[in-house]
Chain A
């Protein structure tokens, strides 16, 4: 199925949660989701016959200035189709439901997004920093991140 077909099917099922279809000018299309219903949508995508997205490739956190977004790349081995989901959250309160219970692969990917952008995935079994030390301050991949001058006495420059 093409992303447009999947979108119409999703729109049918979750009219409030799924954003309008936008044909991209360049690159891949992307389906915008309301963060509140992300979990239900993902569950549907995983289990619905005909869709069956069993492979979560990637979760990306993006700082778009006013909003932080979490992008999900999904793939189905059975039907060989891919899908990109995107959920935008407010910068002040970046909270999203976790999908780690649907795809175990999301465990580390969500931890990485939390580590780098501070997006909090609610319901994640073990949301800790993964790449950076546990006592690191700030979220480096945010655009307004300021490099610390020192870390535990190790000077920067």
Chain B
């Protein structure tokens, strides 16, 4: 286990640490916000194609600039606030929701080395921050003083909190099987020794390792749909019942925050499912092998140190150039890039299915949502946990 502080023990270690963290954070922020940009366009296009129409095709070639136009529109929109709104809560709610959706990205990896913080309790951290969103949305439901918002908020609180339980139990199955809360080690576990193979390719994925995990994956996905408020569980913002649910009274950028948060947390659920059930960056495209325990940043810093250290410009430039020319570095880069591609491919496939389902299925009623959670998902996920325990104990 390595952290960035151990990377370089020179006088500039803190600088390196801060820089790397800031760059990583910025990349993840852009990625999280980019989800809304990519997938509003994607969703509208997919929805249109499903519905035998063309979808956005005006702004830019094939309409790909549509999300940017939407963003500008939202920025330019008047910020309307109801008279009776509780100001502090009203203003805070979108931010809190966005924070709740964005923070977990810190622990969500692209690939083995491309992760902002590789936490030992990554899984726990992600699930915990998912729950922060609930508070924000409850505030959003309560603050504007609109009855429809209140309904949306209350529905969401009931729905998200109850679905946390089966969601957690499904994750528990993976934890039991893999024996770790660390996302990297869960993927590591998936890439070795399954069904008698040393390199099992996709057979090593959690869902293929145990029937319990397969079932848990499906239930995790359904629970994920519910906790990201996606159809058929989009009751908190059911437009035909509650107008727009908890964000009825929000406009402009405040609404955009909710919007981005929704799309970001969808990626979160899909990404998490991809990591813990579908092998993360491992497979289907095989990665070139690299030795254990090497790190791009460390190797780069070694190259810089060899070329004159961080104190001199020559060290920076020559070191970086030498690092680029090094075959092992390129190999690691390819390894990471292919891993990231695998990861994003899986997450986006799951994302696509979410959208596909949304444009197919009718909405479930609130009591049926609870029925599904408490009477279907909960017992079955408990069953999965027991099965997983038996599997671990016996085999």
Query: Do A and B contact each other directly (Cβ–Cβ < 8 Å)?
Result: no
Q: Residues on A close to B: CB < 8 A?
A: none
Q: Residues on B close to A: CB < 8 A?
A: none
